[in-house]
Structure 1
Amino acid sequence: MGKIIFEACVESIDSAIAAEIAGADRIELCSDLEIGGITPSYGLIKSATEKLSIPVNVLIRPRGGDFVYSEQEFEVMKRDILLCRDSGVNGIVIGILLGNNTIDKERTFELIDIAQPMSITFHRAFDETVSPIEALETLINLKVDRLLTSGQTTDAYSGKDTIKKLVDYAKDRIIIMPGGGVNESNIAEIIKYTGVKEIHGSARTKNQNGLGNSFSKEKLTSMLKAIKN
């Protein structure tokens, strides 16, 4: 299988530290995963970059819901990126669409420009686009480093055929990273079937009190064992 980069999606400093100890290669830091994730607090960002030795990528998303943003929301995103850049963050995770569900090229370019030299991941807003190959070509032309996608379905396993097509089309021009519903029982098959070199997971389990989900170091360890043995 070769070396696989595992990106752990977490929403607390304790989870981030636990993920690094368990063997995660990179962190995607966010808050409020119950609504798909939003930008974490400045304090969480600073704590993560100071305490972790693995790269930290930060989600830039001002609210839940769709990926069409007002001018005021876009300004918030730009300010958050500047804070990340000044805080030792490795990369940012972004996604902006137009009302017709195509990628907002102008705004994406603007965010990439002010984010330099941080790495750029385009998130699962991609899965809402009407033409995945056209959208992928747009991201390649914008020099986005990485695409996080579930293959335009609810989870990466169900979308593995589309993910494989994206990998084959992209060649080495952009990293394709599956995410969404990745767990210890399907992670190895997703990687083998699609040929990806990076994968994204949140390793979450239901809380014992039945209220929501939380990060599980044990689940992450099982996922890593499935791909690193």
Structure 2
Amino acid sequence: MPVLLEVCVDSPEGLEAAIAGGADRIELCSALDLGGLTPTPGLIAAAARAPVPVYAMIRPHARSFAWTPADATAMQAEIDAVRAAGLAGVVLGAALPDGALDVTLLGTLRARALGLGATLHRVFDLVPDPAAALEAAVALGFERILTSGGAVRAEDGLAHLVALERQAAARIGIMPGSGVSAANVARIVQAVGASEVHASCREAFTTDDSKGVELGFFPARQGATSASAVQALKRALANID
């Protein structure tokens, strides 16, 4: 059975590149350099015309995963906007101050997103008890957990990913992500038994606008989604025995 490739993007050009490269699903964000935030209305509108399913990140800022009541209100409005645009799903996460999943808030967000697909994002990689968090994600009705197995790169978290896949027992998907590339995806998929993987497929570049960098408008090193990197990853997935 083919392994599905989800590609995260944060711009109209990135969206086009991911689709041109053959992505099976899109995770739509803004500010991937910050780990991905809620996409802008214009990007959501562009994604509404995509020929593949699009899941929008619901993350109003990058300061914490322990959301305030004001954050929670904003997140519910963002879910409403995603629904109104006709996108396929949302990507959610929320934590308590101790790092455990905020099951109460996640339940509220899942209820607001009723009828939409839902992925639990890498807040999961910060929880103190992954086994308990997995059971909570199942109870909340998430389709999948995006995780690196608690490591910086999924390739380095294989033992934990294998354990999570075993515990999940087909009740919820375990989607390896972080550092997934054409060079390592076969090893990750074969070790974990994953049916889907997540990648940015970005090519790094250094901006030549030194004044803009100095003023804080642009990061010195940036990344852009590459259609050729998506294609290479798709070819590597197709060649997995």
Is the TM-score greater than 0.5? yes
Structure 2: give runs of 5+ residues left out of the alignment: 208-219
Once the 2 structures are TM-superposed, how far is the Cα of residue 206 of structure 1 from its aligned partner? 1.1
Aligned ranges for residues 2-41 of structure 1 at < 5 Å? 2-41=1-40
Residue in 1 aligned with 2:210? Answer: none
The one-letter code of the counterpart of 1:32 is A
RMSD: 1.0
Once the 2 structures are TM-superposed, how far is the Cα of residue 208 of structure 1 from its aligned partner? 5.1
1:66 aligns with 2:76: no
The one-letter code of the counterpart of 1:8 is V
Residue in 2 aligned with 1:175? Answer: 173
Residue in 2 aligned with 1:163? Answer: 161
Once the 2 structures are TM-superposed, how far is the Cα of residue 219 of structure 1 from its aligned partner? 1.3
Once the 2 structures are TM-superposed, how far is the Cα of residue 6 of structure 1 from its aligned partner? 0.3
Residue in 2 aligned with 1:87? Answer: 85
Tell me how far apart the structure 2 counterparts of residues 119 and 141 of structure 1 sit (CA, whole Å).
Answer: 15
How does the TM-score come out when normalised to structure 2?
0.92
1:218 aligns with 2:235: no
Q: SS at the partner of 1:212?
A: strand
Once the 2 structures are TM-superposed, how far is the Cα of residue 146 of structure 1 from its aligned partner? 0.9
> 1:129 pairs with 127, 130, 139, which one?
127
* Greater mean alpha carbon deviation, residues 202-211 or residues 39-48: 202-211
Moved over 4 A (4+): none
Greater Cα radius of gyration, structure 1 or 2 = 2
Number of corresponding residues: 227
1:116 aligns with 2:125: no
Tell me how far apart the structure 1 counterparts of residues 67 and 108 of structure 2 sit (CA, whole Å).
Answer: 14
Structure 1: give runs of 5+ residues left out of the alignment: none
How does the TM-score come out when normalised to structure 1?
0.96
> 1:200 pairs with 198, 218, 224, which one?
198
Q: SS at the partner of 1:65?
A: coil
Tell me how far apart the structure 1 counterparts of residues 206 and 134 of structure 2 sit (CA, whole Å).
Answer: 40
The one-letter code of the counterpart of 1:225 is R
Once the 2 structures are TM-superposed, how far is the Cα of residue 211 of structure 1 from its aligned partner? 2.9
CA displacement 1:146-187 (0-9 Å, x = unmatched): 100000111110011101110011011001101011111111
